[in-house]
């Protein structure tokens, strides 16, 4: 029971009121002794006689005709638990307004995914596709030890399956993404992935001009020379500033949530095959808040028509977090 400081009828006073009426006092006389009106005293006496107790009742209405049906609420909560996405993504999938999804999540205590505060977000975006691409690498544990292609014998120690390395690339303007799994984290693998990226983006009519990476050991001199031979300008983020490469970081998080950890894969081969299917879904069907609800390919088509809506923010050419390699 929660009452304000000046409340006349606390639970103890209500009980006293009932005792007085039960002892033979009239409701008006009992109300005068307890310091309340006769109407208020009559309300509590009648509630007690009906067996409803003396505690305050909820102010929630008995009927809510416009409330979202329970089956849709269950679907919203299931998607929230499964995909860990926000109201916009869930609303687009279910055909609901983001405000309705947020109200459902808040009603069930699931409106927040993170409890810790975040630093202010500084957004930037290039004007045209291909002007800047973000590349990053994520280490993933293998599901099973790989076999030697020639002999078929399992490699590595028993109980130690080793690692796969997920190379990801995201176009800064359209968010069209490409990814591939490699057995190591070397400059040779990075350059092989770069060639794969060039072929992938050329199929969409995008020419790569600049590449933004972190300061990993495989993104040093040989990487710089390889980029320059391909007519691409390499850029580095400042040390300990992964936020500058945030589009690739966020894409990796999306991949882990919606691809790598969303299903149970019996082998590395099954997981790798599922990656290609997910990338098709990501580029063609998955809508983004950053793109005003469009998919990456829709953003590419609107850009070609001159209909792009850009973020308001500092120019990336003036961003001190970008370091050009000399």
Domain boundaries, the chain: 11-49, 70-107, 133-147+158-324
Q: Distance (Å, rounded) from C-alpha 141 to C-alpha 68?
A: 42
Read off the DSSP letter of residue 56.
P
3-class DSSP assignment, residue 59: coil
133-147+158-324, which class in CATH?
Answer: alpha beta
pTM of the model: 0.64
Q: Listing from the earlier edge strand, what are the strands of the sheet with 322-324?
A: 177-182, 163-171, 133-141, 210-213, 233-237, 322-324
Give DSSP secondary structure letters for 249-272: HHHHHHHIIIIITTS--SSHHHHH
**Residues 91, 103: contact at Cβ < 8 Å?**
no
**Residues 1, 11: contact at Cβ < 8 Å?**
yes
First to last CA, the chain: 70
- Angstrom CA distances, 104 to 9, 73, 87, stand at 35, 7, 9
pLDDT tens track of the chain, all 326 residues?
566 666 788 888 999 999 999 999 999 999 999 989 999 999 999 999 999 888 888 888 888 888 899 999 999 999 999 888 899 999 999 999 999 999 999 999 988 887 666 667 778 889 899 999 999 999 998 887 666 666 766 666 665 678 999 999 999 999 999 999 999 999 999 999 999 999 999 999 999 999 999 988 999 999 999 999 999 999 999 887 878 888 999 999 999 999 999 898 988 889 999 999 999 999 999 999 989 999 999 999 988 766 554 444 444 454 555 555 54
**Residues 90, 108: contact at Cβ < 8 Å?**
no
Partners of 237 in the β-ladder:
322
């Amino acid at each position: 029971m929660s009452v304000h400081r000046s409340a006349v009828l606390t639970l103890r006073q209500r009980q006293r009121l009932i005792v007085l009426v039960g002892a033979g006092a009239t409701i008006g006389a009992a109300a005068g002794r307890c310091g309340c009106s006769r109407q208020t005293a009559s309300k509590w006496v009648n509630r007690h006689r009906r067996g409803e107790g003396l505690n305050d009742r909820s102010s929630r209405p008995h009927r809510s005709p416009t409330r979202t049906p329970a089956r849709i609420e269950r679907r919203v909560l299931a998607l929230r638990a499964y995909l860990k996405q926000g109201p916009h993504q869930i609303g687009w999938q279910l055909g609901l307004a983001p405000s309705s999804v947020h109200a459902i999540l808040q009603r069930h205590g699931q409106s927040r995914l993170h409890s810790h505060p975040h630093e202010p977000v500084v957004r930037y975006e290039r004007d045209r596709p291909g002007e800047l691409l973000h590349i990053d690498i994520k280490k993933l544990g293998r599901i099973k030890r790989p076999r030697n292609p020639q002999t078929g014998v399992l490699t590595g120690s028993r109980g130690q399956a080793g690692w796969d390395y997920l190379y990801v690339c995201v176009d800064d303007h359209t968010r069209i993404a490409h990814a591939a799994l490699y057995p190591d984290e070397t400059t040779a693998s990075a350059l092989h992935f770069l060639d794969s990226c060039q072929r992938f983006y050329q199929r969409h009519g995008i020419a790569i001009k600049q590449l933004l990476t972190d300061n990993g050991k495989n993104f040093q001199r040989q990487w710089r020379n390889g980029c320059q031979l391909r007519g691409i300008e390499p850029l580095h983020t400042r040390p300990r500033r992964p936020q500058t490469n945030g589009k690739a970081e966020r894409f990796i998080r999306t991949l882990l949530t919606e691809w790598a950890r969303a299903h149970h894969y019996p082998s590395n081969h099954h997981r790798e095959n599922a990656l290609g299917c997910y990338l098709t879904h990501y580029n063609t069907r998955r809508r983004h808040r950053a793109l005003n609800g469009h998919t990456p390919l829709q953003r590419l088509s609107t850009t070609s028509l001159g209909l792009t809506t850009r973020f308001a923010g500092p120019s990336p050419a003036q961003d001190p977090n970008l370091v050009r390699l000399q």
